[in-house]
Structure 1
Protein backbone atom coordinates (compact mmCIF):
# COMPACT_ATOMS: atom_id res chain seq x y z
CA UNK A 1 0.00 0.00 0.00
CA UNK A 2 1.28 3.46 -0.90
CA UNK A 3 0.69 6.11 1.77
CA UNK A 4 1.23 9.87 1.87
CA UNK A 5 3.82 9.47 4.61
CA UNK A 6 5.70 6.65 6.23
CA UNK A 7 8.01 6.89 9.23
CA UNK A 8 11.74 6.90 8.41
CA UNK A 9 11.97 3.43 9.94
CA UNK A 10 9.82 1.06 11.99
CA UNK A 11 11.05 1.93 15.51
CA UNK A 12 9.72 5.19 16.98
CA UNK A 13 10.84 6.13 20.48
CA UNK A 14 9.29 8.46 23.07
CA UNK A 15 11.59 10.87 24.91
CA UNK A 16 10.25 13.02 27.78
CA UNK A 17 10.38 16.64 26.68
CA UNK A 18 11.57 17.67 30.14
CA UNK A 19 14.70 15.54 29.75
CA UNK A 20 16.63 17.34 26.97
CA UNK A 21 19.81 15.44 27.81
CA UNK A 22 18.11 12.34 26.39
CA UNK A 23 17.06 13.83 23.05
CA UNK A 24 20.19 13.14 21.03
CA UNK A 25 20.65 9.63 22.37
CA UNK A 26 16.99 8.80 21.71
CA UNK A 27 17.31 10.07 18.15
CA UNK A 28 20.49 8.07 17.60
CA UNK A 29 18.95 4.85 18.91
CA UNK A 30 15.67 5.00 17.00
CA UNK A 31 14.30 5.77 13.57
CA UNK A 32 12.23 8.71 14.83
CA UNK A 33 12.05 10.37 18.23
CA UNK A 34 8.79 11.60 19.80
CA UNK A 35 9.38 14.56 22.12
CA UNK A 36 6.65 14.05 24.70
CA UNK A 37 4.96 17.06 26.29
CA UNK A 38 2.08 14.93 27.57
CA UNK A 39 2.20 11.78 29.70
CA UNK A 40 5.97 11.38 29.66
CA UNK A 41 6.55 14.91 30.94
CA UNK A 42 6.01 16.02 34.53
CA UNK A 43 3.24 18.63 34.70
CA UNK A 44 5.37 21.04 36.72
CA UNK A 45 8.13 20.84 34.07
CA UNK A 46 6.02 21.53 30.99
CA UNK A 47 6.93 25.20 30.63
CA UNK A 48 10.62 24.32 30.57
CA UNK A 49 9.88 21.32 28.36
CA UNK A 50 8.31 23.58 25.73
CA UNK A 51 11.51 25.61 25.67
CA UNK A 52 13.44 22.37 25.21
CA UNK A 53 11.31 21.55 22.16
CA UNK A 54 11.85 25.00 20.65
CA UNK A 55 15.63 24.78 21.05
CA UNK A 56 16.11 21.08 20.27
CA UNK A 57 18.82 20.40 17.69
CA UNK A 58 17.21 17.41 15.97
CA UNK A 59 16.36 16.47 12.40
CA UNK A 60 12.79 17.67 11.73
CA UNK A 61 12.26 14.76 9.33
CA UNK A 62 12.87 12.33 12.18
CA UNK A 63 11.22 14.23 15.03
CA UNK A 64 7.61 14.23 16.25
CA UNK A 65 6.18 16.34 19.06
CA UNK A 66 3.38 14.91 21.20
CA UNK A 67 1.31 17.77 22.56
CA UNK A 68 -1.38 17.77 25.24
CA UNK A 69 -4.99 17.19 24.15
CA UNK A 70 -7.40 19.98 23.20
CA UNK A 71 -9.21 21.39 26.21
CA UNK A 72 -6.32 20.88 28.63
CA UNK A 73 -4.47 23.80 30.26
CA UNK A 74 -1.26 23.14 28.30
CA UNK A 75 -2.81 22.83 24.84
CA UNK A 76 -2.46 26.43 23.60
CA UNK A 77 1.08 26.82 24.91
CA UNK A 78 2.11 23.48 23.39
CA UNK A 79 0.84 24.57 19.98
CA UNK A 80 2.74 27.84 20.20
CA UNK A 81 5.92 25.98 21.17
CA UNK A 82 5.62 23.77 18.09
CA UNK A 83 5.00 26.85 15.92
CA UNK A 84 8.21 28.39 17.33
CA UNK A 85 10.20 25.19 16.76
CA UNK A 86 11.62 23.66 13.55
CA UNK A 87 9.23 20.68 13.86
CA UNK A 88 6.08 20.19 11.83
CA UNK A 89 4.99 16.64 12.70
CA UNK A 90 2.65 16.58 15.69
CA UNK A 91 1.13 13.68 17.61
CA UNK A 92 -2.37 14.61 18.75
CA UNK A 93 -3.57 12.60 21.76
CA UNK A 94 -7.23 11.88 22.54
CA UNK A 95 -8.09 12.47 18.86
CA UNK A 96 -11.83 12.14 18.33
CA UNK A 97 -12.79 12.69 14.70
CA UNK A 98 -11.72 15.28 12.16
CA UNK A 99 -13.11 18.12 14.26
CA UNK A 100 -10.37 17.55 16.84
CA UNK A 101 -7.76 18.33 14.20
CA UNK A 102 -9.51 21.54 13.14
CA UNK A 103 -9.08 22.95 16.65
CA UNK A 104 -5.30 23.13 16.17
CA UNK A 105 -5.40 25.62 13.30
CA UNK A 106 -8.14 27.62 15.01
CA UNK A 107 -5.75 28.08 17.95
CA UNK A 108 -2.48 28.59 16.03
CA UNK A 109 -2.76 29.29 12.28
CA UNK A 110 0.62 27.65 11.60
CA UNK A 111 -0.94 24.32 12.58
CA UNK A 112 -2.78 24.16 9.26
CA UNK A 113 0.50 23.11 7.60
CA UNK A 114 1.53 20.43 10.11
CA UNK A 115 1.48 16.69 9.59
CA UNK A 116 -0.75 15.10 12.22
CA UNK A 117 -0.32 11.66 13.77
CA UNK A 118 -3.68 11.07 15.44
CA UNK A 119 -3.56 9.07 18.66
CA UNK A 120 -6.76 7.08 19.16
CA UNK A 121 -7.23 6.19 22.83
CA UNK A 122 -10.83 7.00 23.79
CA UNK A 123 -14.11 5.24 23.02
CA UNK A 124 -15.34 8.21 20.97
CA UNK A 125 -12.05 8.27 19.10
CA UNK A 126 -12.54 4.64 18.11
CA UNK A 127 -16.12 5.26 17.00
CA UNK A 128 -15.09 8.36 15.01
CA UNK A 129 -12.16 6.71 13.22
CA UNK A 130 -13.58 7.21 9.73
CA UNK A 131 -13.86 10.98 10.17
CA UNK A 132 -10.41 11.18 11.71
CA UNK A 133 -8.66 9.10 9.04
CA UNK A 134 -10.32 11.11 6.27
CA UNK A 135 -8.97 14.47 7.49
CA UNK A 136 -6.42 15.76 4.94
CA UNK A 137 -3.85 16.67 7.60
CA UNK A 138 -3.89 13.26 9.27
CA UNK A 139 -1.06 11.22 7.78
CA UNK A 140 -0.98 8.42 10.36
CA UNK A 141 -3.10 6.75 13.02
CA UNK A 142 -1.62 5.52 16.29
CA UNK A 143 -3.51 3.89 19.13
CA UNK A 144 -3.13 3.53 22.89
CA UNK A 145 -4.45 0.66 24.97
CA UNK A 146 -4.04 1.99 28.49
CA UNK A 147 -6.00 5.26 28.20
CA UNK A 148 -8.68 3.43 26.24
CA UNK A 149 -9.02 0.77 28.92
CA UNK A 150 -9.27 3.41 31.66
CA UNK A 151 -11.92 5.29 29.68
CA UNK A 152 -13.91 2.06 29.35
CA UNK A 153 -13.84 1.61 33.11
CA UNK A 154 -11.43 -1.30 32.85
CA UNK A 155 -8.39 -2.05 34.94
CA UNK A 156 -6.15 -4.03 32.56
CA UNK A 157 -5.66 -3.91 28.80
CA UNK A 158 -4.01 -7.34 28.73
CA UNK A 159 -4.76 -10.86 29.88
CA UNK A 160 -2.83 -12.06 32.87
CA UNK A 161 -0.59 -15.07 32.43
CA UNK A 162 -3.11 -17.25 34.26
CA UNK A 163 -5.90 -16.05 31.94
CA UNK A 164 -4.06 -16.63 28.69
CA UNK A 165 -5.00 -20.26 28.14
CA UNK A 166 -8.72 -19.71 28.65
CA UNK A 167 -8.75 -16.57 26.52
CA UNK A 168 -7.22 -18.20 23.48
CA UNK A 169 -3.61 -17.19 23.88
CA UNK A 170 -3.69 -13.45 23.33
CA UNK A 171 -2.01 -11.58 20.52
CA UNK A 172 0.73 -13.64 18.85
CA UNK A 173 0.08 -16.45 21.34
CA UNK A 174 2.06 -14.61 24.00
CA UNK A 175 1.07 -14.45 27.66
CA UNK A 176 -0.15 -10.94 28.37
CA UNK A 177 -1.82 -10.44 24.99
CA UNK A 178 -4.48 -7.74 24.56
CA UNK A 179 -8.04 -8.18 25.74
CA UNK A 180 -10.76 -8.09 23.11
CA UNK A 181 -11.61 -4.37 22.94
CA UNK A 182 -7.99 -3.21 22.64
CA UNK A 183 -7.42 -5.96 20.07
CA UNK A 184 -10.49 -4.80 18.13
CA UNK A 185 -9.28 -1.19 18.30
CA UNK A 186 -5.89 -2.21 16.95
CA UNK A 187 -7.57 -3.88 13.98
CA UNK A 188 -9.89 -0.95 13.35
CA UNK A 189 -6.99 1.52 13.39
CA UNK A 190 -5.16 -0.57 10.80
CA UNK A 191 -8.27 -0.96 8.62
CA UNK A 192 -9.21 2.73 8.70
CA UNK A 193 -5.65 3.80 7.99
CA UNK A 194 -5.41 1.45 5.00
CA UNK A 195 -8.79 2.58 3.67
CA UNK A 196 -7.69 6.22 3.89
CA UNK A 197 -4.26 5.59 2.37
CA UNK A 198 -2.36 6.64 5.48
CA UNK A 199 0.11 4.89 7.79
CA UNK A 200 -0.79 2.97 10.95
CA UNK A 201 1.53 2.82 13.96
CA UNK A 202 1.22 0.09 16.57
CA UNK A 203 0.96 0.73 20.31
CA UNK A 204 3.72 0.57 22.86
CA UNK A 205 4.62 -2.60 24.76
CA UNK A 206 4.43 -1.26 28.31
CA UNK A 207 6.53 -4.02 29.91
CA UNK A 208 9.96 -2.77 28.90
CA UNK A 209 11.64 -5.92 30.25
CA UNK A 210 9.56 -8.23 28.04
CA UNK A 211 11.70 -8.20 24.92
CA UNK A 212 10.24 -11.46 23.62
CA UNK A 213 6.67 -10.22 23.95
CA UNK A 214 7.53 -6.88 22.33
CA UNK A 215 9.20 -8.67 19.43
CA UNK A 216 6.23 -11.03 18.98
CA UNK A 217 3.83 -8.09 18.77
CA UNK A 218 6.11 -6.25 16.34
CA UNK A 219 6.37 -9.37 14.14
CA UNK A 220 2.58 -9.48 14.02
CA UNK A 221 2.41 -5.71 13.36
CA UNK A 222 4.84 -5.92 10.46
CA UNK A 223 3.08 -8.91 8.91
CA UNK A 224 -0.34 -7.29 9.34
CA UNK A 225 0.54 -3.99 7.68
CA UNK A 226 1.57 -1.51 10.36
CA UNK A 227 4.25 0.94 9.21
CA UNK A 228 5.99 1.02 12.57
CA UNK A 229 5.81 0.33 16.29
CA UNK A 230 6.28 2.88 19.06
CA UNK A 231 8.45 2.22 22.12
CA UNK A 232 8.88 3.94 25.47
CA UNK A 233 12.31 2.43 26.15
CA UNK A 234 15.35 2.24 23.85
CA UNK A 235 15.97 -1.34 24.95
CA UNK A 236 13.02 -2.48 22.82
CA UNK A 237 14.19 -0.75 19.61
CA UNK A 238 16.42 -3.65 18.47
CA UNK A 239 13.54 -6.12 18.90
CA UNK A 240 11.23 -3.88 16.85
CA UNK A 241 13.74 -3.39 14.07
CA UNK A 242 14.51 -7.09 13.95
CA UNK A 243 10.79 -7.87 13.72
CA UNK A 244 10.25 -5.58 10.74
CA UNK A 245 13.40 -6.65 8.90
CA UNK A 246 12.55 -9.44 6.42
CA UNK A 247 14.58 -12.62 6.72
CA UNK A 248 16.91 -13.64 3.86
CA UNK A 249 14.47 -16.26 2.52
CA UNK A 250 11.74 -13.63 2.23
CA UNK A 251 14.08 -11.25 0.43
CA UNK A 252 15.17 -13.96 -2.02
CA UNK A 253 11.52 -14.82 -2.73
CA UNK A 254 10.64 -11.17 -3.20
CA UNK A 255 13.50 -10.62 -5.67
CA UNK A 256 12.30 -13.61 -7.70
CA UNK A 257 8.72 -12.35 -7.67
CA UNK A 258 9.71 -8.85 -8.78
CA UNK A 259 11.93 -10.27 -11.51
CA UNK A 260 9.10 -12.53 -12.68
CA UNK A 261 6.66 -9.63 -12.67
CA UNK A 262 8.96 -7.69 -14.98
CA UNK A 263 8.56 -10.49 -17.55
CA UNK A 264 4.87 -11.24 -16.99
CA UNK A 265 1.90 -8.90 -17.03
CA UNK A 266 -0.41 -11.57 -15.59
CA UNK A 267 -0.11 -14.39 -13.09
CA UNK A 268 3.03 -16.56 -13.08
CA UNK A 269 4.65 -19.21 -10.90
CA UNK A 270 7.61 -19.06 -8.53
CA UNK A 271 8.62 -22.47 -7.17
CA UNK A 272 5.15 -23.78 -7.95
CA UNK A 273 3.38 -20.90 -6.18
CA UNK A 274 1.04 -18.84 -8.33
CA UNK A 275 1.89 -15.16 -8.11
CA UNK A 276 -0.77 -12.53 -8.74
CA UNK A 277 -1.09 -8.80 -8.01
CA UNK A 278 -1.47 -9.03 -4.20
CA UNK A 279 1.65 -11.20 -3.88
CA UNK A 280 3.55 -8.81 -6.14
CA UNK A 281 2.69 -5.94 -3.79
CA UNK A 282 3.78 -8.00 -0.80
CA UNK A 283 7.09 -8.73 -2.51
CA UNK A 284 7.64 -5.04 -3.22
CA UNK A 285 6.98 -4.20 0.42
CA UNK A 286 9.43 -6.85 1.59
CA UNK A 287 12.16 -5.36 -0.61
CA UNK A 288 11.36 -1.86 0.61
CA UNK A 289 11.63 -2.95 4.24
CA UNK A 290 14.84 -4.85 3.53
CA UNK A 291 16.50 -1.63 2.39
CA UNK A 292 14.98 0.85 4.86
CA UNK A 293 15.09 -1.11 8.12
CA UNK A 294 18.27 -0.87 10.15
CA UNK A 295 19.37 -3.81 12.26
CA UNK A 296 20.49 -2.56 15.69
Structure 2
Protein backbone atom coordinates (compact mmCIF):
# COMPACT_ATOMS: atom_id res chain seq x y z
CA UNK A 1 0.00 0.00 0.00
CA UNK A 2 1.37 3.40 -1.00
CA UNK A 3 1.67 5.79 1.93
CA UNK A 4 0.65 9.42 1.87
CA UNK A 5 4.25 10.37 2.58
CA UNK A 6 5.50 8.80 -0.64
CA UNK A 7 2.82 9.81 -3.13
CA UNK A 8 4.62 10.80 -6.32
CA UNK A 9 1.93 11.39 -8.95
CA UNK A 10 -1.62 11.49 -7.55
CA UNK A 11 -4.17 11.92 -10.34
CA UNK A 12 -7.22 14.19 -10.14
CA UNK A 13 -10.55 12.85 -11.44
CA UNK A 14 -13.81 14.85 -11.50
CA UNK A 15 -16.01 13.33 -8.81
CA UNK A 16 -19.06 13.67 -11.03
CA UNK A 17 -17.51 11.23 -13.54
CA UNK A 18 -17.64 7.84 -11.78
CA UNK A 19 -17.13 6.18 -15.17
CA UNK A 20 -13.53 7.46 -15.00
CA UNK A 21 -12.70 6.31 -11.47
CA UNK A 22 -11.48 2.80 -12.33
CA UNK A 23 -9.70 4.05 -15.45
CA UNK A 24 -7.80 6.55 -13.33
CA UNK A 25 -6.79 3.82 -10.89
CA UNK A 26 -5.50 1.69 -13.77
CA UNK A 27 -3.51 4.56 -15.31
CA UNK A 28 -0.33 4.02 -13.32
CA UNK A 29 -1.07 6.77 -10.81
CA UNK A 30 0.02 6.15 -7.23
CA UNK A 31 -3.29 7.50 -5.91
CA UNK A 32 -6.60 8.85 -7.17
CA UNK A 33 -7.98 12.21 -6.02
CA UNK A 34 -11.73 12.51 -6.46
CA UNK A 35 -12.25 16.21 -7.04
CA UNK A 36 -15.35 17.95 -5.71
CA UNK A 37 -13.89 21.41 -6.25
CA UNK A 38 -12.50 22.94 -9.46
CA UNK A 39 -13.33 20.04 -11.79
CA UNK A 40 -17.03 20.07 -10.94
CA UNK A 41 -19.56 22.67 -12.12
CA UNK A 42 -21.78 24.34 -9.54
CA UNK A 43 -24.90 22.56 -10.74
CA UNK A 44 -23.15 19.17 -10.43
CA UNK A 45 -21.78 19.56 -6.89
CA UNK A 46 -24.47 17.49 -5.16
CA UNK A 47 -24.36 14.73 -7.78
CA UNK A 48 -20.57 14.57 -7.51
CA UNK A 49 -20.75 14.20 -3.75
CA UNK A 50 -23.32 11.40 -4.11
CA UNK A 51 -21.03 9.58 -6.56
CA UNK A 52 -18.05 9.38 -4.18
CA UNK A 53 -16.65 5.88 -3.75
CA UNK A 54 -13.49 4.10 -2.63
CA UNK A 55 -14.20 0.51 -3.63
CA UNK A 56 -12.97 0.70 -7.22
CA UNK A 57 -9.27 0.23 -6.41
CA UNK A 58 -6.70 -0.86 -3.84
CA UNK A 59 -4.78 2.39 -4.37
CA UNK A 60 -5.15 5.26 -1.89
CA UNK A 61 -8.23 7.30 -2.76
CA UNK A 62 -8.31 10.92 -1.61
CA UNK A 63 -11.08 13.47 -1.91
CA UNK A 64 -10.62 17.18 -2.55
CA UNK A 65 -13.46 18.98 -0.82
CA UNK A 66 -14.65 22.49 -1.56
CA UNK A 67 -13.10 25.32 0.50
CA UNK A 68 -14.48 26.33 3.87
CA UNK A 69 -15.98 29.55 2.50
CA UNK A 70 -18.26 27.73 0.06
CA UNK A 71 -21.81 26.42 0.62
CA UNK A 72 -20.75 22.83 -0.20
CA UNK A 73 -17.92 22.50 2.30
CA UNK A 74 -19.81 21.08 5.29
CA UNK A 75 -21.59 18.42 3.25
CA UNK A 76 -18.31 17.53 1.53
CA UNK A 77 -16.53 16.96 4.85
CA UNK A 78 -19.44 14.86 6.12
CA UNK A 79 -19.25 12.73 2.97
CA UNK A 80 -15.49 12.37 3.42
CA UNK A 81 -16.05 11.11 6.96
CA UNK A 82 -18.55 8.50 5.77
CA UNK A 83 -16.17 6.71 3.39
CA UNK A 84 -12.71 5.18 3.98
CA UNK A 85 -10.72 7.80 2.11
CA UNK A 86 -6.96 7.81 2.64
CA UNK A 87 -7.01 11.58 3.16
CA UNK A 88 -8.90 14.79 2.55
CA UNK A 89 -7.29 17.42 0.35
CA UNK A 90 -8.26 20.83 1.70
CA UNK A 91 -8.05 23.74 -0.77
CA UNK A 92 -7.40 27.34 0.26
CA UNK A 93 -5.82 26.22 3.55
CA UNK A 94 -4.98 29.39 5.46
CA UNK A 95 -5.62 28.78 9.16
CA UNK A 96 -4.14 26.02 11.35
CA UNK A 97 -7.28 25.90 13.50
CA UNK A 98 -9.48 25.40 10.45
CA UNK A 99 -7.22 22.61 9.19
CA UNK A 100 -7.38 20.91 12.60
CA UNK A 101 -11.16 21.27 12.66
CA UNK A 102 -11.58 19.58 9.27
CA UNK A 103 -9.25 16.78 10.34
CA UNK A 104 -11.35 16.19 13.44
CA UNK A 105 -14.68 16.33 11.61
CA UNK A 106 -13.56 14.12 8.74
CA UNK A 107 -11.55 11.74 10.90
CA UNK A 108 -8.96 11.59 8.12
CA UNK A 109 -5.44 12.90 7.47
CA UNK A 110 -5.46 16.30 5.76
CA UNK A 111 -3.35 17.38 2.81
CA UNK A 112 -3.62 21.19 2.91
CA UNK A 113 -3.33 23.00 -0.40
CA UNK A 114 -1.37 26.22 0.01
CA UNK A 115 -2.96 28.51 -2.56
CA UNK A 116 -2.82 32.07 -1.25
CA UNK A 117 -0.65 34.65 0.46
CA UNK A 118 -2.40 33.93 3.75
CA UNK A 119 -1.81 30.23 3.30
CA UNK A 120 1.87 30.78 2.63
CA UNK A 121 2.19 33.03 5.68
CA UNK A 122 0.70 30.27 7.83
CA UNK A 123 2.41 27.34 6.08
CA UNK A 124 4.79 26.53 8.94
CA UNK A 125 1.94 26.42 11.46
CA UNK A 126 -0.26 24.41 9.10
CA UNK A 127 2.54 21.91 8.46
CA UNK A 128 2.90 21.44 12.21
CA UNK A 129 -0.79 20.55 12.70
CA UNK A 130 -1.59 17.06 13.91
CA UNK A 131 -2.78 14.70 11.16
CA UNK A 132 -1.10 16.69 8.37
CA UNK A 133 1.34 14.28 6.70
CA UNK A 134 2.20 16.61 3.83
CA UNK A 135 1.59 19.97 2.19
CA UNK A 136 0.64 20.52 -1.45
CA UNK A 137 1.10 23.62 -3.58
CA UNK A 138 -1.81 25.09 -5.52
CA UNK A 139 0.40 27.20 -7.75
CA UNK A 140 -2.28 28.37 -10.21
CA UNK A 141 -4.56 29.68 -7.47
CA UNK A 142 -1.60 31.18 -5.64
CA UNK A 143 -0.64 33.24 -8.68
CA UNK A 144 -4.24 34.37 -9.09
CA UNK A 145 -4.34 35.40 -5.43
CA UNK A 146 -1.25 37.61 -5.50
CA UNK A 147 -1.53 38.70 -9.12
CA UNK A 148 1.76 37.29 -10.40
CA UNK A 149 2.70 35.27 -13.47
CA UNK A 150 2.95 31.49 -13.22
CA UNK A 151 6.70 31.37 -13.79
CA UNK A 152 9.45 29.31 -12.17
CA UNK A 153 11.56 32.26 -11.10
CA UNK A 154 8.51 33.99 -9.59
CA UNK A 155 7.49 30.92 -7.58
CA UNK A 156 10.91 29.63 -6.58
CA UNK A 157 10.86 31.22 -3.13
CA UNK A 158 7.31 29.97 -2.52
CA UNK A 159 8.26 26.38 -3.29
CA UNK A 160 11.34 26.68 -1.08
CA UNK A 161 9.23 28.02 1.79
CA UNK A 162 6.91 25.00 1.56
CA UNK A 163 9.94 22.70 1.61
CA UNK A 164 11.33 24.51 4.65
CA UNK A 165 7.94 24.49 6.42
CA UNK A 166 7.68 20.75 5.87
CA UNK A 167 11.21 20.11 7.10
CA UNK A 168 10.68 22.17 10.26
CA UNK A 169 7.48 20.23 11.00
CA UNK A 170 9.18 16.90 10.38
CA UNK A 171 6.74 15.84 7.66
CA UNK A 172 7.32 14.57 4.12
CA UNK A 173 8.45 16.99 1.45
CA UNK A 174 5.60 18.81 -0.29
CA UNK A 175 3.74 17.92 -3.48
CA UNK A 176 4.11 20.43 -6.30
CA UNK A 177 1.19 21.88 -8.23
CA UNK A 178 -0.03 20.84 -11.65
CA UNK A 179 1.49 21.48 -15.06
CA UNK A 180 -1.40 22.73 -17.18
CA UNK A 181 0.34 22.32 -20.56
CA UNK A 182 -0.51 18.83 -21.82
CA UNK A 183 0.97 19.29 -25.28
CA UNK A 184 4.40 17.80 -24.55
CA UNK A 185 5.34 15.28 -21.83
CA UNK A 186 8.82 16.82 -21.66
CA UNK A 187 7.27 19.97 -20.19
CA UNK A 188 5.83 17.97 -17.30
CA UNK A 189 9.10 16.08 -16.85
CA UNK A 190 11.10 19.31 -16.82
CA UNK A 191 8.72 20.89 -14.30
CA UNK A 192 9.09 17.80 -12.13
CA UNK A 193 12.88 17.97 -12.23
CA UNK A 194 12.72 21.62 -11.24
CA UNK A 195 10.45 20.84 -8.27
CA UNK A 196 12.75 17.99 -7.23
CA UNK A 197 15.78 20.29 -7.41
CA UNK A 198 14.11 22.51 -4.79
CA UNK A 199 13.36 19.62 -2.44
CA UNK A 200 9.78 18.75 -3.38
CA UNK A 201 8.97 15.07 -3.77
CA UNK A 202 5.82 14.72 -5.87
CA UNK A 203 3.53 16.51 -8.27
CA UNK A 204 -0.22 16.67 -8.75
CA UNK A 205 -1.37 15.58 -12.19
CA UNK A 206 -4.51 16.26 -14.18
CA UNK A 207 -4.09 13.74 -17.02
CA UNK A 208 -2.80 10.16 -17.14
CA UNK A 209 -0.20 11.11 -19.74
CA UNK A 210 1.56 13.17 -17.06
CA UNK A 211 2.20 10.22 -14.74
CA UNK A 212 5.23 8.74 -16.49
CA UNK A 213 6.97 12.11 -17.00
CA UNK A 214 6.47 12.94 -13.32
CA UNK A 215 7.97 9.62 -12.25
CA UNK A 216 10.94 10.18 -14.55
CA UNK A 217 11.38 13.78 -13.42
CA UNK A 218 11.53 12.85 -9.74
CA UNK A 219 13.82 9.86 -10.25
CA UNK A 220 17.60 10.31 -10.00
CA UNK A 221 19.34 10.34 -13.38
CA UNK A 222 21.89 7.67 -14.30
CA UNK A 223 24.66 10.23 -13.82
CA UNK A 224 23.39 11.06 -10.32
CA UNK A 225 23.23 7.38 -9.38
CA UNK A 226 26.75 6.78 -10.65
CA UNK A 227 28.04 9.80 -8.72
CA UNK A 228 26.29 8.68 -5.53
CA UNK A 229 27.75 5.19 -5.82
CA UNK A 230 31.27 6.61 -6.22
CA UNK A 231 30.78 8.91 -3.25
CA UNK A 232 29.66 6.09 -0.97
CA UNK A 233 32.50 3.90 -2.16
CA UNK A 234 35.04 6.59 -1.24
CA UNK A 235 35.21 5.62 2.43
CA UNK A 236 34.98 7.88 5.48
CA UNK A 237 36.35 11.30 6.28
CA UNK A 238 37.14 14.05 3.81
CA UNK A 239 38.27 12.73 0.43
CA UNK A 240 38.15 13.86 -3.18
CA UNK A 241 35.72 12.39 -5.72
CA UNK A 242 35.78 13.69 -9.29
CA UNK A 243 37.99 16.53 -8.11
CA UNK A 244 35.52 17.73 -5.45
CA UNK A 245 35.71 17.34 -1.68
CA UNK A 246 33.42 14.73 -0.17
CA UNK A 247 32.51 14.58 3.52
CA UNK A 248 29.52 13.38 5.54
CA UNK A 249 26.94 15.97 4.32
CA UNK A 250 27.79 15.00 0.73
CA UNK A 251 27.38 11.32 1.64
CA UNK A 252 23.97 12.08 3.10
CA UNK A 253 22.96 13.50 -0.27
CA UNK A 254 24.37 10.44 -2.03
CA UNK A 255 22.41 8.09 0.23
CA UNK A 256 19.21 10.04 -0.45
CA UNK A 257 19.75 9.77 -4.21
CA UNK A 258 20.23 6.01 -4.09
CA UNK A 259 17.26 5.62 -1.73
CA UNK A 260 15.06 7.34 -4.31
CA UNK A 261 16.42 5.31 -7.19
CA UNK A 262 14.36 2.23 -6.44
Alignment of 1:280 with 2:254, yes or no, is no
1:49-88 pair list within 5 angstroms? 49-59=48-58, 62-88=60-86
Alignment of 1:214 with 2:188, yes or no, is yes
Q: Deviations over 1:245-291 (max 9, x none)?
A: 2222322232333344xx53x33443443322222222222222211
Q: Which residue of 1 aligns with 2:260?
A: 289
- CA gap of 1:51–1:212, structure 2 versus 1, over 3 A, is same
SS at match of 1:138: coil
Quote the Cα distance in structure 2 between the aligned partners of 1:284 and 1:6. 18
1:61-140 pair list within 5 angstroms? 62-105=60-103, 108=105, 110-111=106-107, 114-140=108-134
- Aligned partner (choices 170, 177, 180) of residue 203 of structure 1: 177
Q: Deviations over 1:167-206 (max 9, x none)?
A: xxxxxxxxxx3462x3432222122112222221111111
Alignment of 1:244 with 2:238, yes or no, is no
SS at match of 1:14: strand
Computed over aligned residues only, the root mean square deviation of the Cα atoms, in angstroms, reads: 2.2
Bigger drift between 48-57 and 74-83 goes to 48-57
Shift of 1:5: 5.2
- CA gap of 1:38–1:235, structure 2 versus 1, over 3 A, is same
Q: Deviations over 1:19-78 (max 9, x none)?
A: 112122222221222111111122222223223323542235x32211111132111111
Q: Which residue of 2 aligns with 1:186?
A: 159
Quote the Cα distance in structure 2 between the aligned partners of 1:28 and 1:281. 36
Q: Which runs of 5+ in 2 are unaligned?
A: none
TM-score between the two structures when normalised by the length of structure 1: 0.79
Do 2:54 and 2:61's aligned partners in 1 also have CA atoms closer than 8 Å? no
Q: Deviations over 1:5-25 (max 9, x none)?
A: 5224x2221111111121222
- CA gap of 1:5–1:24, structure 2 versus 1, over 3 A, is closer
Aligned length: 258
Do 1:7 and 1:32's aligned partners in 2 also have CA atoms closer than 8 Å? no
Do 1:14 and 1:35's aligned partners in 2 also have CA atoms closer than 8 Å? yes
Quote the Cα distance in structure 2 between the aligned partners of 1:55 and 1:11. 18
Do 1:54 and 1:81's aligned partners in 2 also have CA atoms closer than 8 Å? no
Q: Which residue of 1 aligns with 2:46?
A: 47
Shift of 1:121: 0.6
TM-score between the two structures when normalised by the length of structure 2: 0.88
Q: Deviations over 1:212-270 (max 9, x none)?
A: 3322211111222111011111122221111112222322232333344xx53x33443
Q: Which residue of 2 aligns with 1:235?
A: 209
Q: Deviations over 1:115-151 (max 9, x none)?
A: 2111011121111112111112211111122222322
Bigger drift between 270-279 and 194-203 goes to 270-279
Q: Deviations over 1:81-116 (max 9, x none)?
A: 11111213111100013112122156x2x52xx221
